[in-house]
Amino acid sequence: MYEINLDPKDYGIEALMEGMGNTPVAVNTEDREKWADEIGAFAGRLDELSNRAKSLQTLFNSGTAIKATPASLKTFKIQMFNINDALNSSLELANKIDTQIVQK
């Protein structure tokens, strides 16, 4: 059995949880299936992002000429930094969640 022990205060959403109680309850089959579907969709989106990144890597590693204005190249670089920052934040959050789902 596993228990999810995420404290809303750790995520800045405690106001949304007022009055919900602190007693653990079993997650029913229907909810588990919904969560599994959501997580599967999320994993699919991550695979898509990975495939896009690999395609870009292949393009930049290829001998194909690439042209860009300095402004376009700077914009591209900024967007890559934005994606990297979002990924770093997501990985930090995922690691935090991983530590709060424990086997009992």
93 confidence band (pLDDT: 50, 70, 90): very high
Residue 11: the pLDDT is 84
Strand partners, 3: 102
pLDDT tens digits for 1-59?
888 888 888 888 877 777 777 778 889 999 999 999 999 999 999 999 999 999 999 99
pLDDT tens digits for 51-84?
999 999 999 999 999 999 999 999 999 999 999 9
For the chain, what are the domain ranges?
2-103
CA distance 67 to 45: 29
CA distance 71 to 73: 5
How many C-beta neighbours within 10 Å does residue 61 have? Answer: 8
User: What letters, b where the CB count within 10 A reaches 16 and e where it falls short, cover 6-37?
Assistant: eeeeeeeeeeeeeeeeeeeeeeeeeeeeeeee
- Percent helix, strand and coil across the chain, each to the nearest 5: 70, 5, 25
